[in-house]
Amino acid sequence: MDRKEFLKKCGFACLGGSTMMALLQSCASSNYFAKTILSNNQIIIPKSEFLEIKNNQTISRKYVLIKNAKFSFPIVVYSIAENVYSALLMECTHKGCELQAAGIYLVCPCHGSEFTNLGIVQNPPAEENLKTFEITTDHENIYLHI
Ligand code: FES
């Protein structure tokens, strides 16, 4: 490979990297911390927290995040299907880094483990699945039992 070809390839690699960073930042900014109510060892999330109005259109969020003083990591609540949810503690089971939600996966920034939206390990080095929370629902709310 000559010098010109090398520089051309490096230029495309840099462009690809900056595009990827912009894409990741836009994903990160889509994280939404839901408004919740704490009552009798339950975190109550109105189902309306999964709806977002953008440009006069109602869009469904795939997940919302929750912060609770009882846990040092956020909890992510995924909407899996109509009236089916999963709630996962965002603590990596490898060495305890905080996971990042990336669509329907959770990714660890420390060593690259990946988990599904049900908390199941997809990629090592983590070997154990994530901590999950029991969930019940009614027509208005989601109840996380903590
Ligand atoms: S702490 Fe998450 S992969 Fe190591």
Question: What pLDDT, in 10s, does the model give residues 5-29?
Answer: 644 554 444 334 433 443 444 444 4
Q: Using an 8 Å Cβ cutoff, are 31 and 76 in contact?
A: no
Alpha carbon nearest to ligand 1 atom 3, residue: 111
pLDDT in tens, 45-99: 999 999 988 888 998 999 999 998 889 999 999 999 989 999 999 999 999 999 9
Distance, CA 62 to ligand 1 centroid (Å)? 24
Separation in Å, CA 8 to CA 16, 18, 19, 92, 98: 12, 16, 17, 39, 37
Distance, CA 104 to ligand 1 centroid (Å)? 18
> What is the chain's alpha carbon radius of gyration, rounded to the nearest angstrom?
19
pLDDT at 1 over 80: no
- For the CA of 113, the nearest atom of ligand 1: 3
Q: What's the longest Cα–Cα distance across the chain?
A: 69
Pocket probe for ligand 1: among 73, 88, 94, the residue whose CB has the most ligand atoms within 8 Å is: 94
- For the CA of 95, the nearest atom of ligand 1: 1
Strand partners, 144: 43, 135
- For the CA of 126, the nearest atom of ligand 1: 3
pLDDT in tens, 87-141: 999 999 999 999 999 989 999 999 999 999 999 999 999 999 999 999 999 999 9
Q: Using an 8 Å Cβ cutoff, are 97 and 108 in contact?
A: yes
Q: What is the pLDDT of residue 9?
A: 57
List residues near ligand 1 (CB under 6 A).
92, 94-95, 97, 108, 110-113, 125-126
Alpha carbon nearest to ligand 1 atom 1, residue: 95
